[in-house]
Structure 1
Amino acid sequence: MSQITALVTGSSRGIGAAIAAQLRARGLSVIGHASRAVDDATIGADLTDPTAPARIWEQALERGGGRIDVLVNNAGLFAANPLALSDIAWLDNWEDTLRINLTAAAELSRYAVKHWLDRGAAGRIVHVASRAGYRGDSPDHWHYAAAKGGMIAMHKTIARQYANKGIMSYAICPGFTDTAMAGDYLASRGGPALLADIPLGRVASPDEIATIATFCALDAPESMTGAVLDANGASYVR
């Protein structure tokens, strides 16, 4: 069997780095992505640029010898957008977050689905969404919750439409995770006091989320396509 190739966005740190490491440990060829290239295995592209997803996909295909088997939509932006900002500043922040967290993921998913349909090949997409897509988020993070809710709806649509073509879609909804992206937010919300809302008593680790992502990419049964896996320490139970 030929080597499986995966494209992982936002792979330079946090959850993305942990996913890339675990996939490589399972023998996959992993093509990473970050805002700036950090090594030869990483494609550098700023997802606020509307042309970035197409360039990422084209470069990934070139590096993968014309084949991508797994797409992990992990790249994300989590930045406050207070209501008191000016109208234009609030809208700019909204659009940047939606473009990075949802639109770029949608574009890459589209390229992946078309690639697999054209080749008559099976493929898997793993979407790293968020608890916020179901529970909502803080008053400063409407945009983040909206983007992740959109990602979940997109994932379910992909799963329903393409399962009979061998194209599987899985989504993960972490709660707070110990990453640089969430660090400032945790501090601003009271740090240890915030843990009172998490029955487990701690936030997730990137490796825990990566374990779920690796399972979805490689081991999850096809009958699980369309599933949303929660990882929030029972802070939001559906």
Structure 2
Amino acid sequence: MTHILLTGASRGIGAAAVATLSTIPDVTLVGQATTAGADHMLAADFADPDAVDRLWRDALDRLDGRIDVLVNNAGVFEANPIDGDDDAWRDGWARAMQVNLTAAAQLSRRAIRHWQVRGDGGRLVNVASRAAYRGDSPAHWHYAAAKAGMVAMTKTIARGYAKEGILAFAICPGFTMTGMADDYLASRGGDRLLADIPLGRVAQPEEVATMIRFLALDAPASMTGAVLDINGASYVR
């Protein structure tokens, strides 16, 4: 039996991943959402650093003291224009870093220490973004910086702990048909943005969920450190 903790599980990519992973007989999954939901969901607001650590403890309790795979998918995509109020801009930057990067780092640290004590390895899957490499809009410096940090963190973990059987992967979606992307497409002109995607459409959450499943369960160990793109060829590297 594989025990998985998946953050950002209530909508979009996370909900699709829950649907995909829940069909596998040998998988037991606990998800995180900002507010309480279904039986398999735990509530934790990642803007609160203490809530992140409580989530880890609660998830361990729910999963009989063992977590084999951590999927860091939770995130926020909130505009933070540079011409705003100074205090508001700093607060927006800090919130984006805490929710999109620091919370993932907190959970990754807990997971690595857990796997080191167990001595039988584990898997970490970080859902980053195309913005980590391509950048984002002028109102989203903080989002791009946080996702670039997530990619760098993934590579560092992969290099540092592979000998202990701890594997780390990252996924970099472009626009995905979720609530966050819907709002962004509407505000920026969907037709112009779609014209920049050679595939002619944004990714579906189920496509990203397929990648999460593969990395969480099936990817060969030698893939550790890999960063996989899913952006319709809107950014190739």
Q: Same fold (TM over 0.5)?
A: yes
Rounded to whole Å, the distance in 1 between the matches of 2:185 and 2:163 is 42
Give 1:208's aligned amino acid: E
List structure 1 runs of 4+ shifted beyond 4 angstroms: none
Which residue is 1:172 aligned to?
171
Rounded to whole Å, the distance in 2 between the matches of 1:210 and 1:125 is 15
The SS at the match of 1:10 is coil
* Cα shift at 1:24: 1.2
Q: What stretches of structure 1 of length at least 5 have no aligned partner?
A: none
Q: Does 1:152 align with 2:169?
A: no
Rounded to whole Å, the distance in 1 between the matches of 2:44 and 2:116 is 26
The SS at the match of 2:149 is helix
1:164-218 C-alpha deviation (Å, 9 max, x unpaired): 1011001000000000111111111101221110000000000000001100001
Q: How many residues align?
A: 236
* Cα shift at 1:47: 0.4
* Cα shift at 1:36: 0.4
Rounded to whole Å, the distance in 2 between the matches of 1:26 and 1:231 is 23
Rounded to whole Å, the distance in 1 between the matches of 2:46 and 2:180 is 16
* Cα shift at 1:37: 1.1
Query: 1, 9, 12: which is aligned to 1:11?
Result: 9
Q: Does 1:108 align with 2:101?
A: no
Rounded to whole Å, the distance in 1 between the matches of 2:170 and 2:177 is 19
Give 1:33's aligned amino acid: Q
Q: What stretches of structure 2 of length at least 5 have no aligned partner?
A: none
Which residue is 2:20 aligned to?
22
The SS at the match of 1:51 is helix
Rounded to whole Å, the distance in 2 between the matches of 1:47 and 1:84 is 26
- 1:1-238, aligned counterparts within 5 Å? 3-27=1-25, 28-238=27-237
State the identity as a percent.
63
Rounded to whole Å, the distance in 2 between the matches of 1:50 and 1:173 is 24
1:125-150 C-alpha deviation (Å, 9 max, x unpaired): 00000000000000000000000000
* Cα shift at 1:163: 0.7
The SS at the match of 2:22 is helix
The SS at the match of 1:31 is strand
Rounded to whole Å, the distance in 2 between the matches of 1:211 and 1:197 is 24
With the length of structure 2 as denominator, give the TM-score of the two structures.
Answer: 0.98
The SS at the match of 1:197 is coil
The SS at the match of 1:187 is helix
1:16-73 C-alpha deviation (Å, 9 max, x unpaired): 0111111111221110000001112111011001101110000000000000000000
Rounded to whole Å, the distance in 2 between the matches of 1:121 and 1:101 is 28
Give 2:8's aligned amino acid: G
The SS at the match of 1:60 is helix
Query: Once superposed, what is the RMSD of the aligned Cα atoms?
Result: 0.6
The SS at the match of 1:230 is strand
Rounded to whole Å, the distance in 2 between the matches of 1:178 and 1:18 is 11
